[in-house]
Amino acid sequence: MTVAAVTTTRPASSGAAPPGRAWREKLPPIGTLGPFFALLLACLFFATQSDRFLSSENLSLVLQQVMVVGVIAIGQTLIILTAGIDLSCGMVMALGGIVMAKLAVEAGLPGPVAIAAGIGVTAAFGLVNGLLVTRIKLPPFIVTLGTLNIAFAITQLYSNAQTVTDLPAGMTWLGTTFRIGGTSVAFGVVLMLLMYLAVWFWLRETAAGRHVYAVGNNPEATRLTGIATDRVLLGVYVLAGVFYGVASLLSVARTGVGDPNAGQTENLDAITAVVLGGTSLFGGRGVILGSLIGAVIVGVLRNGLTLMGTPSVYQVLITGVLVILAVTIDQLSRRGGR
């Protein structure tokens, strides 16, 4: 029985590749450049509409506003690369933040212990999602829709729907800023960028990272090559839960409180960032750095439209149109590649 290869290999050739082809192979794929060009065009447009847009402080504010969604989008990207989706990410993030805040403030636990406990809770939700997907073979959409509601209910019950204040300084440190020249940069933004670089390297340069793409591209062929696809999927969901926990910490650090009402729209914002960043909802194709660009695109749109005085309802409308366009382009490119 012949099985399609998981990774493509170039056939042996007796001669060197033509100079033109070799030059083209060095170029980044269009799917990678597209989100960057979209971001550039958005910045150019808003720069013509507001003198404040390109100020260093405003651009720094945009990055601070997207750092929570940006980290959630890392986990969401990994899941979407496997042809799954996680609707629970925003509420799981909110639960992690409440656990951290209450353990630190009311139980008196040291900050690092409370943070570890919060990340442990979000990772546990990732484990539950992964087990339901891999062991019982439930659709990721249904599984994470269920755990979204469970996480929301637990958050409200555990917090009594009350905001937790007076957090220790160690839990809000990532929300503080330092100056580079005349620009204030949040430590949380630096952490987000480092995490993107680390995941980019892992996906690009390690066998485990390439297995993530392989599972999303053709799970059956991947299984027949000897790769434990269920183990890969389970690991991806748990790792995504860890990223949601880090996003919990960033949310707490940025707002200075544990908010049980956080995470209401972060799941959709994260999916939007991933889609705008060029990752295919059908799995197996995408670049993690594209999700960072997608998150920044969302932040730039909202910031720029706010500076223009555009009502928030139109911001939501434009974001929705962009998501539909991005998915349409992805679908058409898949059909053209067949």
Closest-CA residue to 243 (of 296, 186, 288): 288
The residue assigned the tokens 């919990």 is 248
Tens of pLDDT along the chain (338 residues) come to 444 444 433 344 444 445 444 444 444 454 557 788 889 999 999 999 989 999 989 999 999 999 999 999 999 999 999 999 999 999 999 999 999 999 999 999 999 999 999 999 999 999 999 999 999 999 999 999 999 999 999 999 999 999 999 999 889 999 999 998 888 999 999 999 999 999 999 999 999 999 999 999 999 999 999 999 999 999 999 999 999 999 999 999 999 999 999 988 899 899 999 998 989 988 889 999 999 999 999 999 999 999 998 888 888 888 888 888 878 877 777 676 55
Token representation of residue 44: 């150019």
Which residues, other chains included, contact 189 with Cβ-Cβ below 8 Å and sequence gap of 6+? 60, 63, 64, 67
pLDDT at res. 104: 95
User: Are 277 and 292 in contact, with CB atoms under 8 Å apart?
Assistant: yes
Cβ atoms 186, 63 nearer than 8 A: yes
The amino acid occupying position 120 is G
**What tokens does 2 get?**
């012949």
> What is the model's pLDDT at position 17?
47
Residue 42 tokens read as 């958005």
pLDDT at 337: 57
- CA 332 to CA 327: how far, in whole Å? 9
Helix (H, G, I), strand (E, B) or coil at 179: strand
Angle at Cα 195 formed by Cα 53 and Cα 295, nearest 5°?
35
- Contact between 118 and 97 under an 8 Å Cβ cutoff? The reply is yes
Q: Output the six-digit token pair for 211.
A: 């297995």
What distances in angstroms separate CA 314 from CA 41, 202, 310, one per listed residue? 19, 38, 7
